[in-house]
């Protein structure tokens, strides 16, 4: 039943709500997103954009007080994971979908060696051949530049941040999952360690033939490794397309503003501009109209009342009234 090839993922009209004293508030407001088999997709967004909620939905692992209200998540070979429950769901997690949690550096059990935790994982998934599992783990760790034997005998505190991150990736891959979700894989790591981890992610992705999803707040991280890039804001995917195109010729005003707000090593640094306003939180996402309008330089009357539909043109999807109206595509490099 385990797939040996990269699955595709299709998220459709996904709405996830969180129960609060102020009623049920949508963290995801009807998100549609496809991950092509064998690609690395990045989801970039600020806190409160719904990116982590979206990632959890792929595992149908949204925790109460949140719940998936409507929509489907189709994963090749698994069907609609929103409908899976209990034991079925548990088997899917780890075996089919590997997940590297945010702050994976701190998600190891401090009282057990890495090897012991690996055996626990194998047993909980009814692996008969545990020595083979250990062998795979050693090979994976070795592939990531670590001494596998030593790491498996280590406790969490004996490993550095970068090493723990690699252990997290090993856990996500060792059961042979072909869909891997990495939530903020390099937060709290140094630049040099981050570069090393990103290289590993890319190399392992190609070698094992995976479909990879990377959730990050850092445009640079996404730019470095992803093939395709989705930008989220206020529980919506506002722009999605091939990474170099989205970065090189952003169409949505939020994407443009975000890219312009990143200080870079190349070019004229004084052209960096801050984005006015601040991102919405769960409680302040507008009930109707475009979620970005408060900060938008292109705001027009219709933005106040109608939530823009995502429109796809030449492999790029943008949800913006102002951009949709332009007859010709936006001139590339307008942000410079």
Partner 1 sequence: MITASGITKTYKQRGNMLGARAVPALRGVDFAIEKGGAVTFIGESGCGKTTLGRIVAGLESYDGGDIVIDGTPMSSLKPRHREPFFRRIQLIHQDPYSALNPTRTIHQTLAAPLALRAKQTGRGKAWMEERARELLALVGIDPGYVLPRYPHQLSGGMRQRVVIARALTVDPEVLVADESVSMIDVSLRLGVLALLKDLRERLNVSVLFITHDIATARYIGGDGELYVIYRGQVVESGPTEQVISGPVHPYTQSLLSAIPVLHGVERPGPERVVPTEALNEAHPDTGCLFARRCPFRTDRCEAALPALVSDGAQAHACYHPQRRNVIPVEAA
Binding residues for partner 1 (CB under 8 A): 46-47, 160, 162-163, 190-196, 198, 217-221, 223-224, 243-249, 257-259, 261-267, 269, 272-275, 278-279, 295
Q: Closer to partner 1 at the Cβ: 96 or 226?
A: 226
Supply the minimum distance, in Å, between the C-beta of residue 59 and partner 1: 25
What is the bridge-based pairing of β-strands 316-318 and 311-313?
Answer: antiparallel
- CA separation (Å) from 114 to 86, 120, 155? 27, 10, 6
Supply the minimum distance, in Å, between the C-beta of residue 224 and partner 1: 4
Dihedral of alpha carbons 169, 172, 173, 177, sign: negative
Tell me the three state secondary structure of residue 106: helix
Supply the minimum distance, in Å, between the C-beta of residue 178 and partner 1: 25
State the Cα–Cα distance between residues 15 and 70, nearest whole angstrom: 5
Nearest of 263, 261, 219, 267 to residue 239 by alpha carbon? 219
Supply the minimum distance, in Å, between the C-beta of residue 235 and partner 1: 15
List, in sequence order, every residue forming a beta bridge with 231; answer none if it has no partner: 44, 239
Q: Closer to partner 1 at the Cβ: 47 or 85?
A: 47
State the Cα–Cα distance between residues 41 and 29, nearest whole angstrom: 20
Q: Closer to partner 1 at the Cβ: 227 or 307?
A: 227
Supply the minimum distance, in Å, between the C-beta of residue 191 and partner 1: 4
Exposed e or buried b per residue across 99-127, where buried means at least 16 C-beta atoms within 10 angstroms of its C-beta: bbbbebbeebeeeebbbebbbebbeeeeb
Supply the minimum distance, in Å, between the C-beta of residue 207 and partner 1: 19
Supply the minimum distance, in Å, between the C-beta of residue 201 and partner 1: 12
Supply the minimum distance, in Å, between the C-beta of residue 2 and partner 1: 33
Q: What is the DSSP letter of 271?
A: G
Give every CB contact of residue 244 below 8 A, 6+ residues apart in sequence. none
Q: What angle do CA 232, 188, 50 make, to 5 degrees?
A: 20
Contact yes or no for 321/290 (Cβ under 8 A): yes
Q: Closer to partner 1 at the Cβ: 67 or 278?
A: 278
Q: Closer to partner 1 at the Cβ: 97 or 233?
A: 233
Q: What is the DSSP letter of 282?
A: G
Q: Closer to partner 1 at the Cβ: 155 or 335?
A: 335
Tell me the three state secondary structure of residue 29: strand
Q: Closer to partner 1 at the Cβ: 32 or 194?
A: 194
Q: Closer to partner 1 at the Cβ: 135 or 278?
A: 278
Contact yes or no for 229/240 (Cβ under 8 A): yes
């Amino acid at each position: 039943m385990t797939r040996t090839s990269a699955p595709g993922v299709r998220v459709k009209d996904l709405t996830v709500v969180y129960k609060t004293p102020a009623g049920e508030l949508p963290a995801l407001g009807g998100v549609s997103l496809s991950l092509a088999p064998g690609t690395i997709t990045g989801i970039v967004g600020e806190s409160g954009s719904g990116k982590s909620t979206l990632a959890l939905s792929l595992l149908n692992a949204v925790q109460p007080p949140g719940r998936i209200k409507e929509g489907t998540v189709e994963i090749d070979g698994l069907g609609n994971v929103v409908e899976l429950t209990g034991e079925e769901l548990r088997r899917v997690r780890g075996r089919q979908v590997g997940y590297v949690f945010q702050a994976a550096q701190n998600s190891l059990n401090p009282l057990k060696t890495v090897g012991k935790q690996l055996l626990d994982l194998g047993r909980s998934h009814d692996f008969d051949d545990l020595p083979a599992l250990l062998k795979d783990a050693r090979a994976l760790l070795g592939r990531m530049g670590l001494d596998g034997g030593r790491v498996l005998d280590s406790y969490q505190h004996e490993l550095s941040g970068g090493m723990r991150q690699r252990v997290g990736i090993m856990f996500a891959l060792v059961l042979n999952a072909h869909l891997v979700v990495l939530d903020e894989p390099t937060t709290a790591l140094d630049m040099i360690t981050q570069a090393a981890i990103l290289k590993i992610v890319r190399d392992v992705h190609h070698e094992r033939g995976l479909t990879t999803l990377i959730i990050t707040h850092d445009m640079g991280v996404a730019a470095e490794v992803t093939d395709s890039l989705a930008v989220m804001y206020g529980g919506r995917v506002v722009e999605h397309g091939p990474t170099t195109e989205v970065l090189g010729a952003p169409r949505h005003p939020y994407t443009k503003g975000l890219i312009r707000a990143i200080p870079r090593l190349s070019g004229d640094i004084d052209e960096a501009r801050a984005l006015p306003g601040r991102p919405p939180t769960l409680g302040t996402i507008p009930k109707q109209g475009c979620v970005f309008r408060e900060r938008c330089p292109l705001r027009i009357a219709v933005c106040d009342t109608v939530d823009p539909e995502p429109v796809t043109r030449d492999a790029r999807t943008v949800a913006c009234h102002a951009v949709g109206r332009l007859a010709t595509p936006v001139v590339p490099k307008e942000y410079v």
